Structure 1
Amino acid sequence: MMRLFDTHCHLDFDAFDKDREAVLERANEAGVERFMVPGVTRNQWEKLTSLASKNTSWSYALGLHPWFIEEHDISDIEALEQTLEQQKGQVKAVGEIGLDKTCQHYDKQHTLFIRQLELAKQLKLPVIIHHRKTLDRTHADIKKYGPERGVIHAFSGSHQQAMKFVEQGYKLGVGGVITYDRAQKTRQAIQDVPIESLVLETDSPDMPLSGYQGQRNEPYRVALVLDALAELKSTDKEALASQLWKNSVELFS
């Protein structure tokens, strides 16, 4: 069976509290062997690290997500640094971090983003980047402050923007967006990017695939994202899966 890695899923969220084991079982049956679970707030890190310690298939990251900007404080950066140092070797990335123009307090977002990029660079950890209407600013900040490795989660930009990140050594996260015919710009960009620069993700419980709107998303559907990507790139699915697994393991080793 093909080995799959869901490089972005929020398995620690409350949406999975009632049936987390069944969710993992369905994923395993679909060939999903590993999961990257990013942190989003300081208050949630403890739950995440506790769950990850009990699930050997989980890798995890810690960070401050811009969606929760009102919960974050500058002092959380110090707490993040201490926690990353304490869990050195266990935590595999800094994330989910980024910039979101649809959220409030953009200046505060930007300050926290830069501080987290610098922290990742200092600790030689990759970053997991959230973006919304901020791709060019994000690229400039990564180039100036960030580490050499990372992933642009749920990439949704042009081919030109995609290649800027690829040239920087970053991966692009490919999820349910490519299953929607209306997402032509993103589909075209992903089609033209080398497969060595891609990883699969679901963003569970969010970002449902086409045909599953209104339902909780789950990691087993990363296999359906693979199907869509193989079709989009007109390439052999097994060879594609093998390369994507390699990309993911190298990124979060």
Structure 2
Amino acid sequence: MLALIDSHNHFDDPCFDPDRDATYQRARKHGVVAQVLAAVSARWWPRLKAITVRYPGLYAGYGLHPLYLAEHRPEHLDLLADWLVQEHPAAVGECGLDYYLPDLDPGAQADYFTGQLQLARRHGLPAIIHARRAVDQVIKYIRRYPGVRGVVHSFSGSVDQARRLLDAGILLSFGGPVTYPRATRLRALLRYLPLDGFMLETDAPDQPTCNRRGERNEPAFLPDVLACVAELRGVDPAEIAAATTANARCLFRIVDESSARTH
């Protein structure tokens, strides 16, 4: 079975409370050997921590999501700095910018985003970045912090934006949206990206694949994304699985437990 890493999801979401054990086991059964969980606000960090401790192969990202701007306070950046020291997570995030919703103040978003980029660079951690209708602005802020590693999750930008992010050392990740036939620009982009430039994700419970439209998304559905990407590129799924899993291991410093057990 192909080993996959779900590079971005929200497995701590309460919608998984009734069947989280079964959902986790389904993911493992379908080859998802690791998951990176992205936090959205400070009040959810303890819950996310507890879930990553309970289930092997789950890794935490702690951060302040732009969509939860109303919950954030400046002191949460100081609190985040403490969490990064104490908990040694895999990443900082989910952070970034969202210009889709007009009531989210751009200036406040920028303050929290740059604050988290500073912390990511200071602690040598990758940033998990949200960029909705704000890719150029995200690139502008990333360039202010050279050396920051990270990923723009659920990338939906242009070829030029993709190139600039990759040149800055930022990977891209793709999930359910790429499986929709109408996503012509996104699907065209995926045909030509370098194999070392992208990862796979589900963003569960959001962004289900085309064949599961309207359903709750979950990590076990990651092979659907893999199959679509492999078909778009005209290659064996094993090639995409190997590359994207290696990229995730490198970015988030996820140990290959199967390899470790053989040495």
Q: TM-score, normalised by structure 2?
A: 0.93
Describe the SS at the equivalent of 2:90. Answer: strand
The answer as to 2:7 corresponding to 1:18 is no
- Identify the residue that residue 203 of structure 2 maps to in structure 1: 203
- Identify the residue that residue 48 of structure 1 maps to in structure 2: 48
- Identify the residue that residue 126 of structure 2 maps to in structure 1: 126
User: Letter of the aligned partner of 1:230 in structure 2?
Assistant: A
Superposed, 1:1-253 pairs within 5 Å as 1-88=1-88, 91-103=89-101, 104-145=104-145, 147-253=147-253
* Between 168-177 and 200-209, the greater mean CA deviation after superposition: 168-177
Describe the SS at the equivalent of 2:191. Answer: helix
Counterpart contact for 1:61–1:95, Cα < 8 Å: yes
Describe the SS at the equivalent of 2:40. Answer: coil
Counterpart contact for 1:159–1:188, Cα < 8 Å: no
Describe the SS at the equivalent of 1:73. Answer: coil
- Identify the residue that residue 256 of structure 2 maps to in structure 1: none
Moved over 3 A (4+): none
User: Structure 1 CA distance, aligned partners of 2:131 and 2:147?
Assistant: 17
Describe the SS at the equivalent of 2:50. Answer: helix
Counterpart contact for 2:127–2:148, Cα < 8 Å: no
CA displacement at 1:211 relative to structure 2: 2.1
User: Structure 2 CA distance, aligned partners of 1:101 and 1:186?
Assistant: 19
Describe the SS at the equivalent of 1:107. Answer: helix
Describe the SS at the equivalent of 2:141. Answer: helix
CA displacement at 1:135 relative to structure 2: 0.3
User: Structure 2 CA distance, aligned partners of 1:11 and 1:49?
Assistant: 11
User: Structure 1 CA distance, aligned partners of 2:22 and 2:212?
Assistant: 19
* Cα 1:203/1:146, change in 2 over 3 Å: farther
Describe the SS at the equivalent of 1:171. Answer: strand
User: Structure 2 CA distance, aligned partners of 1:122 and 1:187?
Assistant: 35
Describe the SS at the equivalent of 1:117. Answer: helix
Q: TM-score, normalised by structure 1?
A: 0.97
Counterpart contact for 2:92–2:128, Cα < 8 Å: yes
User: Structure 2 CA distance, aligned partners of 1:239 and 1:157?
Assistant: 24
CA displacement at 1:13 relative to structure 2: 0.7
CA displacement at 1:147 relative to structure 2: 4.2
Deviations 1:114-141 (A, max 9, x none): 0100110011100000011100110111
Describe the SS at the equivalent of 2:45. Answer: helix
User: Structure 1 CA distance, aligned partners of 2:42 and 2:194?
Assistant: 35
Stretches of structure 2 lacking an aligned partner (at least 5 in a row): 254-263
**Identity value in percent:** 36
Deviations 1:36-79 (A, max 9, x none): 00111000000001111111210111000001000001111000
Deviations 1:149-177 (A, max 9, x none): 11110000111111111111111111111
CA displacement at 1:146 relative to structure 2: 5.6
Root mean square deviation, CA, Å: 1.0
User: Structure 1 CA distance, aligned partners of 2:205 and 2:240?
Assistant: 25
Describe the SS at the equivalent of 1:8. Answer: strand
Aligned length: 251
